């Protein structure tokens, strides 16, 4: 079926920032839509979104140029093309852009069209999106990583660590992961209210942090897990996103909250001590995006007992993922569609990660939308994990709710392996305290 029309317009993400939504209409009237998220903490090696930079309009954040590229060059390129040829559509858009980072047309323009195309194709086939994306092979419901406290750039630097999250290690079903998270999230809120420290939510829906040190936040998270009736390290594990590139300045890692500086070796030792003391089962970006030697050291030290996720390190880029695999620099990869800019390249990044025996973690961005594409992506690719933020705000719960719908659709064919995934990949999910 051929593409009849391609158009786009400016809409708004969960922070109220402008973003691009594209619409593809087929000759039979079938329609697909794609809306692009945006990150606050972005890696240097990500594909580049295009913003207008005019301070008189949306403080320079508008995306009218990217919208214009969709309505102009990209529409001219794709009208009349076969919507079922996703690799061909994506490759032709990359070729038209002509830059290695999609900076001419904008990754936000290209991704919006890529997402709209695959949505239109699934609608044309009258298949659920996860079925079309995964060619019917997707059946694994993801284990969530869910934020309890926000931090870093998601909370204006109130604490240094960007995400304090939990993983429901003891859950036997996807539904149980949400119940456990509900209990811990509410327990954390109750503790903060009791101490007079509850003051709203951060960008991704987690409680706004009000702590004197990063370790106080970790201690409070452990307290919340226990207050909810669970055993840390057995029922519930802690997952952190350090976003360490944001902490790296002039060859040192810095905690601004505590006025402390660390060499790479000292920072690794701190991470190891936290894993020992705080039931941590997963660390995302514990080191900076180009500190390859540091990543190798931390993998050697705790890669057998802790998931080490590269986000800024890899930026969903196959070449960087392949380097990380060759260097044994991590054991998991965060997957974000807008870091690479097309559906085809995202699927390839997941394939390369899984082929190496590593774990892909499908992820949202801090500037999100109501679209639940990534819930389908996680199931379609049997990725096993999904990270979308916290257990509050509609742009977050829309993803958790979509997995519940997918689970209902799959019925008895749905599988949930939960924390067993870690053991299957040589990572112990139980951390002694």
CA dihedral 42, 43, 48, 49 (to 10 degrees): -10
Active centre residues (catalytic)? 204, 336
pLDDT at residue 337, rounded to an integer: 96
Report the 10 Å Cβ neighbour count for 62: 18
Per-residue model confidence as pLDDT tens digits over 85-128: 999 999 999 999 999 999 999 999 999 999 999 999 999 999 99
pLDDT at residue 429, rounded to an integer: 58
Residue showing tokens 């053991």: 423
User: What angle do helix axes 86-97 and 107-125 make, rounded to 10 degrees?
Assistant: 160
Which pair of structure tokens corresponds to residue 2?
């051929």
CA distance 223 to 249: 32
Q: Residue 308: is its pLDDT beyond 50?
A: yes
Residue showing tokens 């931390």: 298
Q: Nearest Cα to 306, choosing from 274, 282, 334?
A: 282
Domains of the chain: 3-126 (3.30.390.10), 143-424 (3.20.20.120)
Neighbour-count burial of 192, counting CB atoms closer than 10 A to its CB (0-12 exposed, 13-18 middle, 19+ buried):
buried
What would the mean pLDDT of 287-303 be, rounded to a whole number?
97
Q: Nearest Cα to 173, choosing from 407, 429, 425?
A: 407
CA distance 366 to 29: 33
Per-residue model confidence as pLDDT tens digits over 375-405: 999 999 999 999 999 999 999 999 999 999 9
């Amino acid at each position: 079926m051929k593409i009849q029309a391609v158009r786009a317009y400016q809409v708004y993400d969960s922070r109220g920032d402008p973003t691009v939504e594209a619409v593809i209409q087929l000759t039979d009237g079938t329609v697909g839509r794609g809306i692009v998220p945006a990150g606050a903490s972005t890696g240097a090696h990500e594909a580049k979104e295009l913003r207008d930079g005019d301070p008189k309009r949306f403080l320079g954040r508008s995306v009218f140029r990217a919208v214009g590229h969709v309505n102009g060059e990209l529409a001219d390129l794709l009208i009349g093309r076969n919507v079922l040829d996703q690799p061909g559509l994506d490759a032709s858009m990359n070729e038209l852009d002509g830059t290695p980072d999609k900076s001419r047309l904008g990754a936000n323009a290209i991704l919006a069209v890529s997402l709209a195309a695959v949505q239109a194709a699934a609608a044309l086939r009258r298949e659920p999106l996860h079925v079309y994306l995964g060619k019917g092979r997707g059946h694994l419901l993801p284990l969530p990583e869910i934020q309890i406290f926000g931090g870093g750039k998601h909370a204006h630097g109130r604490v240094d660590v960007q995400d304090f999250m939990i993983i429901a290690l003891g859950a036997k079903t996807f539904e149980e992961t949400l119940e456990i998270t509900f209990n811990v999230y509410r327990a954390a809120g109750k503790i903060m209210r009791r101490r007079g420290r509850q003051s709203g939510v951060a960008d991704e829906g987690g409680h706004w942090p009000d702590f004197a040190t990063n370790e106080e936040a970790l201690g409070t998270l452990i307290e919340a897990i226990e207050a909810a009736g669970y055993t840390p390290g057995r029922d519930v594990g802690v997952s952190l996103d350090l976003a360490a590139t944001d902490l790296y300045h002039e060859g040192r890692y810095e905690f601004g909250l505590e006025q402390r500086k660390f060499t790479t070796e000292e920072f690794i030792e701190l991470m190891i001590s936290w894993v020992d003391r705080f039931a941590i089962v997963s660390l995302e970006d514990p080191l900076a995006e180009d500190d390859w030697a540091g990543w190798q050291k931390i993998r050697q030290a705790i890669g057998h007992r802790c998931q080490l996720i590269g986000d800024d390190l890899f930026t969903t880029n196959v070449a960087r993922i392949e380097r990380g695999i060759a260097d044994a620099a991590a054991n998991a990869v965060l997957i974000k569609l807008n870091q690479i800019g097309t559906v085809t390249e995202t699927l390839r990044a997941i394939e390369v990660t899984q082929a190496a025996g590593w774990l892909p973690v499908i992820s949202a961005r801090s500037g999100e939308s109501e679209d639940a594409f990534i819930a389908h992506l996680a199931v379609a690719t049997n990725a096993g994990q999904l990270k979308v933020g916290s257990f509050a705000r509609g742009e977050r719960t829309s993803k958790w709710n979509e997995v519940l719908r997918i689970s209902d659709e799959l019925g008895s064919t749905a599988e949930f392996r939960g924390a067993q995934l870690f053991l299957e990949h040589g990572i112990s999910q139980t951390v002694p305290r």
